[in-house]
A and B are shown apart, each in its own frame.
Chain A
Amino acid sequence: MSAAAEAAPAARPAANAPGRRRRTGGFWQRVGRQVLRDKVALVCAVVLALIALSAIFAPWIAPADPYKTSMLRRLLPPLSPNFILGTDELGRDMLTRLLYGGRVSLSMGIAPVLFATILGGALGITAGYFGKAVNMAIMRVVDVFYAFPSVLLAVAMAGVLGAGIFNSLISLTLVFIPPITRVAESVTTQVRNQDYVEAARATGASSVRIILQHVLANVTGPILTYASSLVSIAIIISSGLSFLGLGAAPPIADWGLMLNTLRQAIYVAPINAVLPGVMIFAASVSFNLLSDSLRTAMDVRA
């Protein structure tokens, strides 16, 4: 697909140096190297790193107070003196708000996917490894949740649980468990039927031991790749929840919420209104492309 994939074999001959072998490094190191060789992925990684760092260090680098309003300075256009990106409908500094908003939006993208990966992964591996009745029980329940469109499910659950960041985190986690369970189940089923798992069983090892030492290492790759592609969706849905008033509540800075409040000003200050959307777009596209590259890198059967 990408230039990086073709370039991969070139990196190997070094390993065949005479005498004692130099270790080529583990699987993940190889994947890491390959992803970094992919230009698009590299750009995405840099963009994400910038967003993440600026979000983490927002309190130190932000030029203003994110909650300080001013009726006199409402909706200043970008590049105004002191307000590089202008101000929002309450006169708060846009740049500061966007930096702070990254904190909520990024964590809302990553945290639910992380929790869902742990829970869904465990469920899926259990279902895939033990098969039969266990598989039926887990997968049919998961299918019920899977039948709903994810946004609808998130909205419904957030609605039931009530507004708030914590509740929307729970509802997002629940939304992502079924798809991850499915992916985990299908990869585990494949791995489970490999001869090396059979050979491991033939040594008399317990199921837990086989799962931890043989199955896990071979399923984490595909599961993580899939999960990383969900982060962008999580960012969008959580922004959507905030937009609908089910996620972060004002005056908290959150990209989705900002998009909602600025929407009324779209004719007066279109650029200001679009900025949070641009951030959502940049973050989710970066996550998506990065996970694509990750998948390509891991697909290479060396």
Chain B
Amino acid sequence: MEGLRKYFPLRGPLGNVNAHVQAVDGVSFHVAKGETLGIVGESGCGKSTTARLLMRLIDPDAGNMVLDGDPIGHGGLTLRELRRTMQMVFQDSYASLNPRHTATEEITFGLRVHGIGRSEAREQARSALRLVGLEPDMFADRYPHEMSGGQRQRVNIARGIALNPRVLILDESVSALDKSVQAQVLNLLIDLKERLNLTYLFISHDLNVVHHVSDRVLVMYLGKVVEVGPVERIYQAAAHPYTRALFASRLSMDPRQRVDAVPLVGDPPNPVRPPSGCRFRTRCEMAEAVCAAVEPILSEQGALHEAACHAVTPNSGHSRAGGLAHAA
């Protein structure tokens, strides 16, 4: 079921010509049809930029993308077709709804863009609202300010699925919601995925939520993929030191297991001038000379599991390379 594949080496300079913020630098990954790929990382590591690049809301400087065997652009899928196949749900449920549009107007907008007639679009909007658990008679004519955060986010999801996409990008879609509402929306998303045969790209900084919904997890650091693998592998036997630090920083439900030592100190380096070699080396306890000299590439760590770290890459020159020095 490797029908859906994306390859994405790209370089995203934001800003003016003499300073390039390397927001997303050479990120490649693939998503299988019907799976949920969780993308995690600190603030500013390029998660959302990746999402925007995928939707072509910003133009990538390099890289290409293959969707279901069709390349995007270059005689393949047009941008318009891409945007019908792929939809996105944003973090801020209020800002992502037009304050002057009712729920129906908001959902029908996209449908009308794709040439669906007015009454037909209204019908589809109603069924999309029903799908996300909002009674159309109650909510169809409501403005954003007349709804709660959870309801607004449901409208956002309805807008996304109304176009009948195959891929839904969820960019921190539940992060702004209360815990209880968050759980409801997450369950809704899981339910919708099965019913509508969707593929999810689930971007979040909330590791517990990602654990709950994802099949595979991709960890980003400073615009690079540092590790990717099946969710249980990443959560239990992460290979990259950054991933391990990230997971150690998660608060445990069990107070006895809480760690006192701060696993990760300092802020990420400036993405305008990232460190040479491995970008994580400035904060890595295992950093050695080779880490500054050579940039690590993703190397196999087991079935479907890859990490970009010299310490776990055989023959990299790192003193721990090949050895299983890290404690699981």
Which residues of A come within 8 Å of B, CB atoms? 15, 20-21, 23-24, 27, 194-196, 198-206, 209, 213-214, 217-218, 301-302
A164 to chain B, nearest CB (A): 42
Contact A218 B100, beta carbon cutoff 8 Å: yes
Which 8 residue pairs are nearest across A and B when measured between Cβ atoms?
A203-B110, A195-B96, A204-B83, A204-B80, A217-B100, A205-B113, A195-B95, A196-B98
B275 to chain A, nearest CB (A): 31
Contact B98 A198, beta carbon cutoff 8 Å: no
Question: Is residue B163 contacting chain A, with contact meaning CB distance below 8 A?
Answer: yes
User: Contact string, B106-118, partner A, CB cutoff 8 A, digits 1/0?
Assistant: 1001100110000
Contact B145 A302, beta carbon cutoff 8 Å: yes
In Å, the complex CA distance between A195 and B88 comes to 11
Question: Is residue B325 contacting chain A, with contact meaning CB distance below 8 A?
Answer: no
Q: Apart from A21-B142, A202-B88, A203-B113, what 6 extra A-B contacts exist at CB < 8 Å?
A: A23-B141, A195-B96, A198-B52, A203-B110, A214-B101, A217-B100
In Å, the complex CA distance between A302 and B52 comes to 30
Query: Among A205, A218, A302, which residue has its beta carbon within 8 angstroms of that of B109?
Result: A205
Chain B hits for A195, CB < 8 A: 90-92, 95-96
B85 to chain A, nearest CB (A): 10
In Å, the complex CA distance between A196 and B96 comes to 4
Chain B hits for A194, CB < 8 A: 95-96
Query: Among A203, A217, A302, which residue has its beta carbon within 8 angstroms of that of B98?
Result: A217
Say yes or no: A203-B100 contact (C-beta < 8 A), given A20-B137, A302-B145.
no
Contact B114 A203, beta carbon cutoff 8 Å: yes
In Å, the complex CA distance between A205 and B145 comes to 25
B112 to chain A, nearest CB (A): 9
Question: Is residue B84 contacting chain A, with contact meaning CB distance below 8 A?
Answer: yes
Question: Is residue B277 contacting chain A, with contact meaning CB distance below 8 A?
Answer: no
Query: Among B57, B99, B137, which residue has its beta carbon within 8 angstroms of that of A201?
Result: B57
Contact B138 A21, beta carbon cutoff 8 Å: yes
Question: Is residue B79 contacting chain A, with contact meaning CB distance below 8 A?
Answer: yes
A223 to chain B, nearest CB (A): 14
A33 to chain B, nearest CB (A): 16
Chain A hits for B84, CB < 8 A: 204
Chain B hits for A204, CB < 8 A: 79-80, 82-84, 110, 113-114
Q: Which residues of chain B from 33 to 87 have any CB-CB distance to chain A below 8 Å in the complex?
A: 52, 55, 57, 79-80, 82-84, 87
Chain B hits for A198, CB < 8 A: 52, 57, 90, 96
In Å, the complex CA distance between A214 and B146 comes to 19
Contact B109 A213, beta carbon cutoff 8 Å: yes
In Å, the complex CA distance between A23 and B98 comes to 18
Closest to B82 in A: A204
B23 to chain A, nearest CB (A): 16
In Å, the complex CA distance between A20 and B142 comes to 12
- Count chain B CB atoms within 10 A of each CB in A23, A195, A201, A301 and give the residue with the most: A195
Chain B hits for A15, CB < 8 A: 146
Chain A hits for B163, CB < 8 A: 203
Question: Is residue B97 contacting chain A, with contact meaning CB distance below 8 A?
Answer: yes
Say yes or no: A21-B141 contact (C-beta < 8 A), given A199-B90, A204-B83.
yes
Closest to B159 in A: A199
Pairs across A and B, CB under 8 Å, 9 listed = A20-B137, A24-B146, A196-B101, A202-B55, A202-B87, A204-B79, A204-B113, A218-B98, A218-B100
Chain B hits for A196, CB < 8 A: 95-98, 101, 106
Chain B hits for A201, CB < 8 A: 57
Say yes or no: A203-B96 contact (C-beta < 8 A), given A23-B141, A195-B90, A302-B145.
no
In Å, the complex CA distance between A218 and B98 comes to 8
In Å, the complex CA distance between A200 and B100 comes to 14
Closest to A16 in B: B146
In Å, the complex CA distance between A21 and B100 comes to 18
Chain A hits for B82, CB < 8 A: 204
Q: Which residues of chain B from 157 to 181 have any CB-CB distance to chain A below 8 Å in the complex?
A: 159, 163
B314 to chain A, nearest CB (A): 43
- Count chain A CB atoms within 10 A of each CB in B80, B91, B96, B100 and give the residue with the most: B100
A51 to chain B, nearest CB (A): 32
Contact B79 A203, beta carbon cutoff 8 Å: no
Chain B hits for A200, CB < 8 A: 98, 109-110
In Å, the complex CA distance between A200 and B99 comes to 13
Chain A hits for B106, CB < 8 A: 196
Closest to B142 in A: A21
In Å, the complex CA distance between A198 and B52 comes to 9
Chain A hits for B100, CB < 8 A: 27, 217-218
Contact A199 B96, beta carbon cutoff 8 Å: yes
In Å, the complex CA distance between A206 and B52 comes to 18
In Å, the complex CA distance between A200 and B113 comes to 9
Closest to B88 in A: A202
Closest to B87 in A: A202
A302 to chain B, nearest CB (A): 5
Chain A hits for B99, CB < 8 A: 218
In Å, the complex CA distance between A24 and B52 comes to 36
Closest to A205 in B: B113
Chain A hits for B55, CB < 8 A: 202
Chain B hits for A24, CB < 8 A: 146
Contact B97 A205, beta carbon cutoff 8 Å: no
Closest to B94 in A: A195
Closest to A302 in B: B145
Closest to B92 in A: A195
Say yes or no: A301-B90 contact (C-beta < 8 A), given A202-B57, A203-B109, A203-B110.
no
A24 to chain B, nearest CB (A): 8
A185 to chain B, nearest CB (A): 20
In Å, the complex CA distance between A194 and B98 comes to 9
